[in-house]
């Protein structure tokens, strides 16, 4: 959560003389099209609504460096309406995702590595925000699949996926705060990610359509009956000829 005290203030990264939201906001307002302004949160987590509104509709990107390999990226043109002051605090690891039952997580993750993630804010952001999180460089090239825990259904729902870069970082898009799980896999997982994890299962061969089977069976019967009729005809002809020959003698 945001710390109290004048000594703890966010500041524009690489320009530590400009600190505090009252100083940062004018810098955002004066930013040129295509500019990116990176703010080191310095232990704080809450961004005021008026700061977010200052880039609304603009070709300006605000990056919030939260520390510990976490950062948020907000693009001005993605902002529809900031809900208010937003707490961008993120909890990862064992202390996160406590509302998600273990069996629900295991049902999706299987033997894949995963990372629980909880956003402090409650509700919709009013815009899409991209979170950069480090999933370790050993997972470079793999996909980080983001699942949202729906408390009403008691299930994890697939949201999006991003490919992990050589440094282990991945960008994932969020529109609201909740409990999430990130699952690392060689592919992008779908809503039925549970099924995707059962890679050793044999896929059953497709069933033959009943109508096709019946049609084939009927054809076989017709052919057999036809052969029987032909044999009977030949048999009758042979019998008649043989009988006629006997009478002539």
Same domain membership, residue 18 and residue 45? yes
Tell me the per-residue pLDDT of 141-200, one tens digit each, with 9 for 90 and over. 999 999 999 989 999 999 999 999 999 999 999 988 889 999 999 999 975 444 344 333
Is residue 100 one of the residues assigned to a domain?
Answer: yes
Contact between 19 and 39 under an 8 Å Cβ cutoff? The reply is no
Domain assignment present for 203? no
pLDDT, tens digit, 9 for 90 and up, residues 87-131: 999 999 888 888 888 889 888 888 788 999 999 988 888 899 999
Residues 225 and 127 both lie in one domain: no
Question: Pick the residue with more confidence: 26 or 14?
Answer: 26
Predicted model pTM:
0.71
**Residue 185: how many CA atoms within 13 Å on its side-chain side?**
22
The residue range of the domain holding 220 is: 208-249
Model confidence pLDDT, tens digit, residues 28-78: 999 999 999 999 999 999 999 999 999 999 999 999 999 999 999 999 999
Strands 61-67 and 36-40, by their bridges, are parallel
The answer for 119, left when phi > 0, alpha when psi is -120 to 50, beta otherwise, is beta
Residues 47 and 121 in one domain: yes
Is the pLDDT reported for residue 211 higher than 60? no
CATH label of the domain that carries residue 177 = 2.60.220
- What's the half-sphere exposure (Cβ side, CA atoms, 13 Å) at 53? 8
């Amino acid at each position: 959560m945001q710390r109290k005290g004048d000594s703890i203030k966010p500041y524009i990264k690489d320009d530590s003389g400009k600190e505090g939201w009252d100083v940062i906001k004018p810098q955002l307002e004066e930013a040129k099209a295509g500019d990116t302004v990176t703010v080191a949160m310095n232990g704080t987590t809450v961004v005021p609504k008026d700061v977010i509104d200052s880039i609304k509709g603009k070709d300006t990107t605000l990056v919030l460096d939260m520390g510990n390999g976490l950062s948020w990226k907000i693009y001005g043109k993605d902002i529809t309406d900031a809900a208010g002051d937003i707490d961008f605090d993120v909890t990862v690891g064992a202390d996160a995702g406590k509302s998600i039952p273990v069996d629900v997580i295991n049902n999706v993750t299987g033997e894949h590595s995963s990372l629980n993630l909880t956003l402090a804010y409650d509700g919709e952001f009013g815009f899409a925000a991209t979170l950069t999180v480090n999933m370790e460089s050993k997972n470079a090239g793999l996909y980080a699949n983001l699942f949202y825990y729906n408390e009403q259904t008691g299930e994890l729902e697939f949201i999006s996926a991003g490919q992990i870069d050589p440094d282990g970082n991945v960008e994932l898009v969020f529109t609201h705060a909740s409990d999430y799980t990130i699952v690392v896999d060689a592919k992008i997982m779908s809503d039925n990610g549970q099924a995707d994890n059962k890679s050793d299962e044999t896929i059953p061969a497709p069933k033959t359509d009943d109508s096709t089977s019946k049609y084939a069976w009927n054809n076989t019967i017709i052919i057999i009956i036809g052969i029987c009729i032909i044999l009977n005809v030949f048999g009758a002809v042979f019998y008649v000829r043989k009988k006629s020959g006997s009478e002539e003698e």
